[in-house]
Amino acid sequence: MEIWIEKHRPKRVEDIAGQQEATRILRGFISSGEMPHLIFAGPPGVGKTTAAICLAMEMIGENWRDHFLELNASNDRGISIIREDIKDFARTQSITEGKFKIIFLDEADELTPEAQAALRRTMEVYFKNVRFIFSCNYSTGIIPPLQSRAVLIRFKKIEDSDMKKALKGVSEKENLKLSDDIMDAIAENAEGDLRKGINLLQSLSYVEKPTVRDVYEIAGNVEEKDIIPLLSNARHGNFEEASRIGMSLLIDSGYSALDIIKGMHSLMVREQKQD
C-alpha cells in the first residue's frame, strides 16, 4: 500500500496548492538561480517540506538528492551531532561550480537558542555553497540573529477552495468518486491541513459507500448535527436537555468530553463566520 501523501506530493513549485505568496517568492528564486537562507514558518501539513523539496529539485536539478540534506532538529541526537552532519555535508565541494547545496532543518524552533546561535557561523562560513532552509511553526522560535540572516517565508492554512481542489485532484488520480458533501466534510475536518485532508481521503477509500458521518468518525470529530441541539438547548436555558444530549454523546456514541467541547467550539466559529 502506498501512502497517498507521499505518492501525490507535488514535484514542482507551481503544483503546490494555495500558498500563492510563498510560491511567488520561490518562483523568483528559481528563475534567478539564486536564493538566500530561508525560514519557512507555518502550521503543520501545509507544504513547507514539500516546498523545500520542490525548490531543491528545480534549483539543483537531476542530482538534487546528493545536494539536499534533511535534518530534524527535534530528535534526540543532540546539536553536536547535527552540527557534525552539517559540516560533513557542507565541506564537500559542490560538483558544479556556482551551484549550492540545501540543508533543510525541520522543527528548527525546537533547537535551544544556544544551539541556534552555534549555527550562525556555519551559515556564514559555508554560504558559498550551502543554503539553509529552517522550517518551524512559529518564526518567533528562531533567534533574531538567524532571522536576520534569512528571508522569512510564511505558509498559511490551506483555504477551503484550494483544499477541495487539491483533494479532487488526488481523488481523480486514484479513481475515487465521492459526493460533494463528503468532500465538504473532509475539507471541514482537515482544518486547513492538507496532509490531514489527503490522509482522510485515503482512509475513506477503504470504506464501502462512505457517508459524511464516516468522515467525522475517522477524523475523531463530533458531527455538527449532533452538536447543534446540545448548543441550542444550552443557549435557551434548557440545561437539563442539553446535558442529557451531552451525556448521550459521551456514553452512547463514545465521544470524549474534549471531542464534544471541540465540536461546540468549531460550530460557534462557523456560525460567527457565517454572520
Is residue 189 a contact point for ligand ATP (CB under 6 A)?
no
Counting every residue, how long is the chain?
A: 275
Is residue 18 a contact point for ligand ATP (CB under 6 A)?
yes
Q: How far apart are CA 137 and CA 145, in angstroms?
A: 18
CA neighbours within 13 Å on the CB side: how many for 250?
Answer: 11
Of 219, 195, 207, residue with least CA distance to 6: 195
Is residue 116 a contact point for ligand ATP (CB under 6 A)?
no
Distance of CA 196 to the CA centre of its chain: 8
Q: Which stretch binds ligand ATP (CB under 6 A): 2-10, 116-124, 243-251, 262-270?
A: 2-10
Is residue 205 a contact point for Mg ion (CB under 5 A)?
no
Is residue 47 a contact point for ligand ATP (CB under 6 A)?
yes
Q: Smallest gap, in angstroms, from Cβ of residue 215 to ligand ATP?
A: 18
Q: Which stretch binds ligand ATP (CB under 6 A): 40-48, 55-63, 205-213, 250-258?
A: 40-48
Is residue 137 a contact point for Mg ion (CB under 5 A)?
no
Beta bridge partners of residue 39, listed in sequence order: 134, 152
Ranges within 38-67 binding Mg ion (CB under 5 A): 48-49
49 CB-contact burial (10 Å; exposed 0-12 / middle 13-18 / buried 19+): middle
Beta bridge partners of residue 130, listed in sequence order: 101
Chain residues binding Mg ion by CB under 5 A are 48-49
Chain residues binding ligand ATP by CB under 6 A are 5-6, 8-10, 16-19, 44-50, 158, 166, 194-195, 198
